[in-house]
A and B are shown apart, each in its own frame.
Chain A
Amino acid sequence: MSAREAIFARLRHQLAAGSSEQDRRETASARIAGHAANLIPARAQIDHGAQVKLFIDQAEAVQATVKTLASHDDVPDEVTAYLRKHNLPQAIRHGTDAQLSGLDWHGRAPSLTVSHGPADPHDEASLSHAVAGVAETGTLILTSGPDNPTTLNFLPENHIVVVRAADITGTYEDVWQTIRATYGERQMPRTVNMITGPSRTGDIEQRIELGAHGPRRLHIIIIEN
């Protein structure tokens, strides 16, 4: 008997006292198909304007910085200004995301070197587009793929993330509904990253230090329109 068979045989033997295998199967399938939400905290069940404000407050509470821009067109200026403010080289890398690739990088930020693709170990700053922001904890949602390669979220020391105000929502459950609508039932992108503030560790005497292995800084750009 294989290990798999042995494990399942023991489980079925122990679980038989509770209900039949057929009943178990039907109950489990129904729960998965229904994917009903459990209790949702009241905190984020507020109007959209208040959700955006809560998102900003929560992100700033965990040491992310937040800038709100009127439109995508101003992103290159903001990236340039941010890099200058932190004395970083004028260079940024992003994926093939249409909202980022379509920007007038050359016209608005002529001194900036823009490269594309997954992160290179020498990159100091990266730019991603989040599919959503979750107000309840100031959490960004990024999905993997050529548009926004996952390594951009972790390898460079400075991560700039653009999110549309319209994509900021109350809870994690809202995000799962969006992902099911995009990818289909029971489907997920290879990686979904929930990012809440920059990298940190408390492993030395339980005191928090930022920038353990992932980005030291997380800068969020919210696009109003």
Chain B
Amino acid sequence: MVTVHSTSPHFKANARRALGDEQLQRALTNVPGGFIAKRQHAKDKLPEFDALRDEARDLKNHTLAHLDVYLEEYEARVIASGGHVHWCETPDEACRTVIDICKAHDARTVTKGKSMVTEEIHLNAAMQAAGIQPVETDLGEYIIQLRGETPSHIIAPAVHLNKDQIEADFRATHTHLPADRQLEEGAQLVNEARQILRQKYIDADVGITGANFLVAETGTSIIVTNEGNGDLTQSLPKAHIVMATIEKIVPTLEDASTILRLLGRNGTGQEFTSYTTFSTGPRRADDPDGPDEYHVVILDNGRTGMIGSDFQDMLRCIRCGACLNHCPVYQAVGGHAYGWVYPGPMGSVLTPSLIGVDQAGHLPNASTFCGRCEEVCPMRIPLPKMMRHWREREFERHLSPVTVRYGIGAWAFMAKRPKLYRLATGIAARLLKLWAGKTGRLEALAGAGGWTRHRDLPAPQGPTFMAQWKRRRP
């Protein structure tokens, strides 16, 4: 945990800035409109959807309980098919491993398919420092690489941007093209990126992709994509490097198929993405194309420590992004406010595991516990429960601010004395109702400025719940 570049400790300031950013707020309106309706449609078309979620959860739990042996089986099959497996404990080791392979091929430029693990290890910066130029080829990743930004979403990295911003970036970067060209339409932007990147695929010495799954049965890595950039990245250069982590493993092709039925539907709302590619080893003796070398770099980076802990369930995550799309906090502030690689609910659980709760303690608090993330999770990960675990640890380690500790302490004192609690809440409810008067709303309230700055606080309308319940019971 040495190379952490995180602004997670400043989540509150980040969020405040995000709420005031007009461009960002405009772009974020595309999230609920697009992803949520499409996912619902795809789910409705497959009656077995929820039963598949149960199976996927169980098969991944089984895999994690046998992770050591499945990883060994996987490794043996990769080697048998002519590939290489590299094990790395830390981001630095993983970067060094990738750079060494690139150097062995005298690589000047390296194309990259979309990979969140390479974001996690800050591979691009490490490669540039070593004199190797990484070229992101996924359209969203290409756009944010031009801008010097990080992804704001795990499957839609440029979701925080509007078309006019991308147009401006393309005009500023692709200066060899006519200045008066038409570039207002999405299709024109896609075409321009297509033309630019075509030559990059051909020139690249090494191609790097991520892996959605690793199959123990056959030593196969799987990528799930729509653009075709991952396939060009891995089939044209001399070497293909797969960047993966230990929890990507599934036992068999049948098990992969079960989870594949969930991934597209739950992420983008597609029944199946355009391209699902299964890669096993390097080019064979009679193959006319494909890479001469096939390397898989498998990173731990703290994940072994999650096995057997309160956070093991998080290792079931397949990175579909649905918990981000459905999260009211993500929808309001976007991904960058979270300050590290993985935003939204899955990031709020994973980030403290990977960079420490002292760095990322705000993130598990950035939740209303509405539960939608767990409701839409294809792997049925109990995200709110795990965020609560983090809050407890933050509290235990005295990392929460003194006002929070004092407040929780006061609440606990009252909650342990029900009579006193009911008396106090009964008085408070009546007072607030009186104070609010006819409007029934409070525009300001001491201690609730954070709420009333943006909206009114509805005043209690009568006696407390307990009092009403007592009266209704026969």
Q: Are A190 and B284 in contact (CB under 8 A)?
A: yes
Known contacts being A42-B48, A190-B283, is A203 close to B67, with CB within 8 Å?
Answer: no
Size of interface on A: residues with Cβ below 8 Å to B: 81
Kindly list chain A residues whose C-beta atoms are within 8 Å of the C-beta of B272: 137-139, 194, 196
Report if A225 contacts B (CB, 8 A). no
The answer to whether A173 and B254 touch (CB under 8 A), given A11-B68, A121-B198, is: yes
Determine how close the nearest CB of chain A comes to the CB of B441; give it in whole angstroms.
Answer: 36
Contact with B along A1-37 (1 / 0, CB 8 A): 0111011101110110111010011011101100111
Interface of chain B residues 143 through 175 with chain A (CB within 8 A)? 143, 156-159, 162-163, 166
Known: A35-B254, A212-B229, A214-B228. A118 touches B289 (CB 8 A): yes
Are B227 and A201 neighbours in the complex by a CB distance under 8 Å? yes
Q: Tell me the bound Cα distance from A173 to B228 in angstroms.
A: 24
Are the C-beta atoms of B226 and A38 separated by less than 8 Å? no
* A209: chain B residues within 8 A (beta carbon): 186-187, 190
Tell me the smallest distance from the CB of A130 to a CB of chain B, in Å: 14
* Contact assessment for A200 and B186 in the assembled complex, using a CB-CB cutoff below 8 Å: no
With contacts A19-B65, A195-B274, A212-B227 taken as known, whether A203 is within 8 angstroms of B158 at the C-beta atoms is yes
> Which chain B residue lies CB-closest to A58?
B271
B69 close to A38 (CB less than 8 A): no
Complex-state Cα separation, A76 to B175, whole angstroms: 43
Q: What residues on A are CB-neighbors of B236 within 8 Å?
A: 151
The count of A-to-B residue pairs whose CB atoms sit within 8 angstroms is 264
User: Which secondary structure characterizes the binding site on chain A?
Assistant: loop
Interface status of A213 (Cβ within 8 A of chain B): yes
A-B contact list, 26 entries, CB within 8 Å? A3-B300, A7-B304, A11-B71, A19-B65, A28-B73, A28-B251, A31-B251, A32-B73, A39-B55, A41-B48, A43-B46, A118-B288, A118-B289, A138-B272, A150-B290, A154-B235, A172-B260, A188-B280, A190-B283, A190-B287, A194-B275, A200-B226, A202-B34, A206-B156, A212-B226, A213-B227
Question: Interface residues, chain B, CB within 8 Å of chain A?
Answer: 27, 30-31, 33-35, 46-48, 51-52, 55, 59, 62, 65-73, 77, 81, 87-89, 93, 137-140, 143, 156-159, 162-163, 166, 186-187, 189-191, 193-194, 197-198, 201-202, 216-218, 220, 226-229, 231-232, 235-236, 246, 251-255, 257-258, 260-261, 268, 270-284, 286-290, 300, 304-305, 307-308
Chain A contact residues, CB within 8 Å of chain B? 2-4, 6-8, 10-12, 14-15, 17-19, 21, 24-25, 27-29, 31-32, 35-39, 41-43, 58, 62, 95, 117-119, 121, 137-139, 144-146, 149-151, 153-155, 171-173, 176, 186-207, 209, 211-215
